[in-house]
Amino acid sequence: MGQSLITLHDKAFRPYLSAAKIGVAIDQVAARLNADYAGRRPLFVVVLTGGFMFATDLLKRFTGECEIVFIRVASYEGTESTGKIQEILGLREDVQGRDIILVEDIVDTGTTLHHLLPTLQANKPASIEIAAMFYKPASLRYPLALNYMAMEIPNDFVVGYGLDYDGLGRNLPDVYVAA
C-alpha cells in the first residue's frame, strides 16, 4: 500500500485495505454476477459519485451484455450521514421488465437504498439486486437484501477507492480509515 498516514482537510487517515485486496474482492463479485446473469442483459444503475471506481472495475470484469446508467444522490456531510437524500440526477431509462443491478460504493445506514428501491420497484423491473464494494452491518438501519457485497468492514469512517471526506480522497486506489 502507498503512504502510511494521510491527512485530508483536518483529519488523519491510516492505511486499511490495499488496492490488491480490493481487486480480489471485485473478482469474486464479478464471477458471481457473470454466472447469475449469463444470457441476460442487466441494466447496471451506478450510484454516483462514490460508486464510480467500483463500477468501473466491476463492469470491466462483467463478460455479458449489459447497459450502464448513472444516478446521483447525496446523504453525507463530513463524516456523518445526514439521514436525508437529495436526488441530484435521476434515472431516465425505462426499467419495466428489466434486471436491475444497483452499484453502490458502500452500504452503511442503507438510507440511500431505502430511498431508491421503492422508486425503482414502482416501475416494475423484473428484478433488483444490489452490488456494493463495502458493507457496514453495524450501521445498517433498514432491512436490505445484499446479495453482491464485495467486502464487509467495521463501522469506521473510510476514504479512498471512490469514498471521500468532504470531496477529498476519492482518487486513492487504497482505502484508509480515520486514525
Q: In which region does residue 94 sit, left (phi positive, over 0), alpha (psi from -120 to 50) or beta (all else)? A: beta
Give exposure, 11-45, as e/b (b: 16+ Cβ within 10 Å): bebebbbeeeebeebbeebbeebeeebeeeebbbb
Which cell goes with 28?
A: 469474486
**Positions marked catalytic:** 108
- Residue 176's identity, in one-letter code, is Y
CA distances from 63 to 14, 20, 21, 57, 94 (A): 35, 21, 21, 12, 23
The pairing of strands 6-8 and 127-135 is unpaired
